[in-house]
Amino acid sequence: MNIFRLTGDLSHLAAIVILLLKIWKTRSCAGISGKSQLLFALVFTTRYLDLFTSFISLYNTSMKLIYIACSYATVYLIYMKFKATYDGNHDTFRVEFLVVPVGGLSFLVNHDFSPLEILWTFSIYLESVAILPQLFMISKTGEAETITTHYLFFQGLYRALYLVNWIWRFYFEGFFDLIAVVAGVVQTILYCDFFYLYITKGMSGCALPALFCGHVFF
CA distances (Å), 135 to each of 80, 86, 129, 145, in order? 23, 16, 10, 13
Tell me how far apart the alpha carbons of residues 85 and 83 are, in angstroms, rounded to a whole number: 5
Closest CA to 92 of 7, 217, 177, 197: 217
Confidence (pTM): 0.87
CA distances (Å), 179 to each of 78, 173, 210, in order? 32, 18, 32
pLDDT tens for each residue of 52-108: 888 889 999 999 999 999 999 999 999 999 999 999 999 999 999 999 999 999 999
- Sign of the torsion formed by the C-alpha atoms of 83, 137, 34 and 103: positive
pLDDT tens for each residue of 142-181: 666 777 788 888 998 998 899 899 999 999 998 889 999 9
Share of the chain above pLDDT 90, in %: 66
Vertex 202: Cα angle to 145 and 215 (nearest 5): 75
Q: Taking 60 as the threshold, does the pLDDT of residue 205 lie above it?
A: no
Closest CA to 136 of 40, 32, 39: 32
Following DSSP, what letter does each residue of 21-43 receive, concatenated?
A: HHHHHHT--TT--HHHHHHHHHH
